[in-house]
Amino acid sequence: MSDKYTTWKTLRLLWPFVAPYKKALIVAIFGLLLNAATDASLISLTKPLLDYGLMDKNYSLLMIIALLIIGLIALRGLSNYASTYCLSWLSGKVVTKFRQLIFNHLVRSPVSFHDKSSVGDLVSVITFNTQLLSKASSDALIILVREITYAIGLCCVMFYGSWRLALVLFIIVPLIIFIAQFIAKKFRETIKSMQKGMGEITTAADEMLNGHKEVLIFNAKDYEKRNFGQITDIVRRGVLKIELVSRLSTPIIQLIATLGLGFILYLVASESLDITPGSFTVVFSAMVAVMRPLRELTSLHVELQKGAIACESLFGILNAPQEEDNGTIVKEKVKGSIEFKNVTYTYPTRNMPSLIDISFSIKEGQTVALVGRSGAGKSTIASLIPRFYDVSQGEILLDSINIKDYKLKSLREQIGYVSQRVHLFNGSIADNIAYGEKGLHSREAIIKAAKLANALEFIDKLQDGIDTEIGDNGVLLSGGQRQRIAIARVLLRNNPILILDEATSALDNESERLVQEAIETLQKDRTSIIIAHRLSTIKKADRIIVINDGKIVEDGNHESLITQKGLYSQMYKMQFNS
């Protein structure tokens, strides 16, 4: 068992999720108890049936026993149905609640958490591990309640039949417990590796589907098939190992129980015991029947291991820090002045800072372009303003207020952001333009935003126009079309601050010209931060800040920077003389 997530800790953590549905749990437990009691009672009726009914030819007693058997069978079926239904209903509720909770937590997790987490692993936790925890918990409950009750009931029946023969249990039970503990030790690492394998399967499938064109162009089909085959084979072997170990316990337990039965027959055959046919039949039947609960009890540790491992991954996510949102300031619309004061930032996965003691200010309504070589820190600056990441040192002010003092929702409502990697959602073009604010904007406003972004040029050619379904991440659109929809999404919101991180990078020259005109119109009376490799798109910016190795090396307008003959001038000449 995990040192971190023991059985009792797992149960304590699960209880808040089960507590709202405790009535269903009580009914399920009562049904399991009743089910086990009826099974044991049916076997106990063998003694009076043989000794007093058949041997004494007491037909009235036989009729009573027959009615009792019918009643017990009916009660057994009813209790089994009630317990199964309640457990299924309860498991469904808990799984749904867990999945929603995990999803909600991931939505509120900082970007830095997602940067270092595998998408496949996270999807596996939401889908596989939640189901694993629920099934393991319900299976463990069934074993704990029904099988233990049934085993105790059968032991009582055996003592009722013949206490001398029932003493054989004291030999069998310790051996069964030893086997159960041995199997539990073998399971933990296998289950953990299988859980990891499920995440790798999801990741491999996701990467192949999203990068299918790259797979084809680089002739990597055989590599992908081989890689996926290796991953699935590891999972297959893990499942097989679990089956081998768990199934091995069944014949071993049966062998031990059979030895117990043989010993009972030996005692009866040796005439050392004076026992009636009814008593012998009860003990013998109970001994055979007890194999099932004993066999199931060996899997109890296995189910608890599964639950503990699943619990570890689930609560590992739930205990991960969420975005820090301690601000209290809420503004409907800010003026838009921004100031960086001695800002240093280091990504959690890196040793060297991406930004070093950066200081600059942007006046409200001003358009500032950030330029520099790849990896210079331009996108990092853009990511710090909406607090995708929080500064390591220094502070960022919006309207002279530290951005940490704003409520995150209010801060991000001020910012229109288009990144170089556009993500669209499965749905219509209209849904994507109005994403996050569906129902708040009229169809006319959505169409107007699309027009300003020069998106109607291709939208009007589609059969369903703005209602066209674009597939997962806009797979049915070209890169330039996807970029224009993302720009239209920002145009619709009319934010006072614009951040355009390579927003025109995927456009052809004609589309870039038209979108650039729309952006220039939009920039009026708004604070705009533009990151661009194409220096032709930022020539009209009020200021151009040149970043190199995380530091500001030049600051001025296009003309002044050209005359300085520094890094900007070199970059400009390289682009236009190449």
CATH number of 278's domain: 1.20.1560.10
Cα distance between residue 558 and residue 440, in whole Å: 40
Cα distance between residue 36 and residue 66, in whole Å: 20
Cα 234 → chain centroid: 21
3-state percent breakdown (helix, strand, coil) of the chain, nearest 5: 65, 10, 25
Q: Looking at the structure, do residues 17 and 63 belong to the same domain, yes or no?
A: yes
Q: Looking at the structure, do residues 180 and 277 belong to the same domain, yes or no?
A: yes
Q: Looking at the structure, do residues 478 and 561 belong to the same domain, yes or no?
A: yes
Sheet with 401-402, side-by-side order of all strands: 355-362, 338-345, 393-398, 401-402
Cα distance between residue 94 and residue 114, in whole Å: 25
Burial class (CB in 10 A: 0-12, 13-18, 19+), 248: middle
Count of structural domains, the chain = 2
**326 falls within a domain:** no
H or E, element range at 158: helix 148-161
Cα distance between residue 43 and residue 17, in whole Å: 38
Residue 406: strand pairing partners? 329
Q: Which pLDDT value is given to residue 418?
A: 84
Residue 342: other Cβ atoms inside 10 A: 12
CATH of the domain at 446: 3.40.50.300
Cα distance between residue 485 and residue 508, in whole Å: 15
**491 falls within a domain:** yes
Find out whether 550 and 356 touch, Cβ atoms under 8 Å. yes
What are the two backbone dihedrals, phi and then psi, of residue 292, each rounded to the nearest 5 degrees? -65, -55
The beta-strand segments (E) located in 63-118 are: none
**481 falls within a domain:** yes
Which of 257, 286, 318 lies at the terminal end of a domain, its last residue?
Answer: 318
Amino acid at 416: G
What are the two backbone dihedrals, phi and then psi, of residue 530, each rounded to the nearest 5 degrees? -120, 125
Q: Which pLDDT value is given to residue 70?
A: 93
Residue 530: strand pairing partners? 369, 500
Cα distance between residue 502 and residue 336, in whole Å: 21
Find out whether 45 and 52 touch, Cβ atoms under 8 Å. no
Please state the three-class secondary structure of 507-522 as a single string. CCHHHHHHHHHHHHHH
Which of 318, 349, 364 lies at the terminal end of a domain, its last residue?
Answer: 318
**332 falls within a domain:** no
Which of 318, 351, 374 lies at the terminal end of a domain, its last residue?
Answer: 318
Q: Looking at the structure, do residues 350 and 306 belong to the same domain, yes or no?
A: no
Cα distance between residue 148 and residue 547, in whole Å: 70
Name 350's Cβ contacts closer than 8 Å, sequence gap at least 6: none
Q: How far apart are the first and last CA of the chain?
A: 65
Of 542, 578, 544, which Cα lies nearest the Cα of 561?
544
Name residue, tokens 């170990």: 245
Helix axes 130-142, 22-44, angle to 10 degrees: 40
Q: Looking at the structure, do residues 139 and 187 belong to the same domain, yes or no?
A: yes
Of 7, 316, 2, which Cα lies nearest the Cα of 188?
2
**501 falls within a domain:** yes
Residue 551: strand pairing partners? 548
**482 falls within a domain:** yes
**113 falls within a domain:** yes
Residue 269's domain comprises 7-318
Amino acid at 261: L
Name residue, tokens 């929603």: 100
pTM of the model: 0.73
**323 falls within a domain:** no
Q: Looking at the structure, do residues 312 and 421 belong to the same domain, yes or no?
A: no
Of 191, 305, 207, which Cα lies nearest the Cα of 241?
191
Q: Looking at the structure, do residues 304 and 412 belong to the same domain, yes or no?
A: no
Cα angle 139-140-141, degrees, rounded to a multiple of 5: 90
Q: Looking at the structure, do residues 257 and 368 belong to the same domain, yes or no?
A: no
Cα distance between residue 152 and residue 344, in whole Å: 67
Cα distance between residue 546 and residue 558, in whole Å: 11
**Residue 248 DSSP one-character state:** H
Q: Looking at the structure, do residues 271 and 377 belong to the same domain, yes or no?
A: no
Name 470's Cβ contacts closer than 8 Å, sequence gap at least 6: 424, 426, 427, 428, 429, 432, 476, 477, 485
**Residue 364 DSSP one-character state:** T
Q: What is the mean pLDDT of each successive set of 10 residues along the chain, which is 578 residues long?
A: 59 82 91 91 87 80 89 92 90 87 88 80 82 79 84 84 73 69 62 66 73 67 82 78 68 71 71 72 80 74 74 84 90 92 90 91 92 88 92 93 93 87 84 85 90 86 88 76 85 88 70 70 81 81 91 91 88 73
Cα distance between residue 282 and residue 43, in whole Å: 6
Q: Looking at the structure, do residues 386 and 529 belong to the same domain, yes or no?
A: yes
Q: Looking at the structure, do residues 365 and 275 belong to the same domain, yes or no?
A: no
Q: Looking at the structure, do residues 253 and 362 belong to the same domain, yes or no?
A: no
Cα angle 562-519-459, degrees, rounded to a multiple of 5: 135
Residue 2: strand pairing partners? none
Find out whether 75 and 38 touch, Cβ atoms under 8 Å. yes
Residue 527: other Cβ atoms inside 10 A: 26
Residue 133: other Cβ atoms inside 10 A: 29
